[in-house]
Structures are given as structure tokens and as C-alpha cells.
Amino acid sequence: MSVLVDYGCTGTLTINSIVMNGPAWDITDLTELWHVIEQRGEDRVLPGAAGVIPYQRRETVTRIDLELVIVGSVNQSGTPFDNVITGLRTNIDTLMTSVVNPPGSGGGTRAASLTVPGASTRTSNVHVVGLRRTSMLLDPANLRAAWEGILQLSIPVKFT
């Protein structure tokens, strides 16, 4: 049976009350969220002169891709499924419904919290803009079904 172990090594991410690091699915590396934030702004070129006039940069929306593994052997609480293919579909459906599909209210964001090892929990609102598959393993005879992909986030304001 294929169950994720050592999940949450780089922290835990919760989106819309769904913990994204567990026995059924895991974002394998959250280190990119620890301190990432894009900046906007640019300096002004001085026509006919060397150099530029420097201008202050500001934080802006950050787009990030996170690797996600989903298995079909257990549900999010670790309870085994009778059929790994059905379990995989159920786990993907759960994530699509609760995390990926746009909410119908507010600014379209979902509440998120990031717990970093050795640090306090940080929060932000995020847009989940996609989930796309990169590979899949289907081996029901050996009770294995796994789906690997990319969870795409757009973070309007950094985690604080």
C-alpha cells in the first residue's frame, strides 16, 4: 500500500481549512514560501546621462508553483480506501472542490496559513489558480495509485 510518510518536513500549509501536508497528499517542499515575495517598480532612466534615478520598490503579487503528490490508498485522515483508483479520484475531487475551484465570494481568495519549522504560523489570502498533473502511477494490482502535479498559487500579500 502506498501511503505518504515524512510529510510536512518543510512545514505545513493549510488552504481553506484543508491541510496540504498529510498521508493522502503532500506539498513536498514549502521552503519557497518561507520568504518569497515579488517586487514591482523600476528606476527612471536619465536621458543623455549616465545612471538612473532610483525609485522605491513595493511588494506585489507573487506567483508560485508547488509540487504536490496525491495517493489513492488513504483519505486525508489516513483511513484506507478499498480501491486505490477510487481513492485517488476521491482525493483529487476533494482538493478540487475545497482548494482549487474558485470560491464564489469575496475577492476570490482562500484563507491560508503557513507553519514554518521553528517559527510562528503566518497567514495570508491566496488565489489557487490551477492544479496540473505532471505524472501518474496506476498499479491497482499492487495497491498503488499516485498522482504528481503542480499546485499554482497567486499570493496578493505575503504571509505574515
- Is the residue at 3 inside a domain? no
- Is the residue at 44 inside a domain? no
How many domains is the chain partitioned into structurally? 1
Residue environment code for 63-82, b if the CB has 16+ CB neighbours within 10 A, otherwise e:
eeebebbbbbbbbbeeeebe
Q: Which residue has the cell 504536490?
A: 68
- Is the residue at 45 inside a domain? no
How many residues are there in the chain?
160
- Is the residue at 1 inside a domain? no
- Is the residue at 91 inside a domain? yes
**C-alpha span between 105 and 153 (Å, rounded):** 18
The pLDDT confidence band at residue 100, using thresholds 50, 70 and 90, is very high
- Is the residue at 81 inside a domain? yes
What pTM did the predictor assign? Answer: 0.89
- Is the residue at 75 inside a domain? yes
Q: What is the pLDDT of residues 5-54, one digit of tens each?
A: 788 889 999 999 999 999 999 999 999 999 878 999 999 999 999 999 99
Mean pLDDT of 114-136: 94
- Is the residue at 94 inside a domain? yes
Q: Which domain holds residue 88?
A: 12-36+56-155
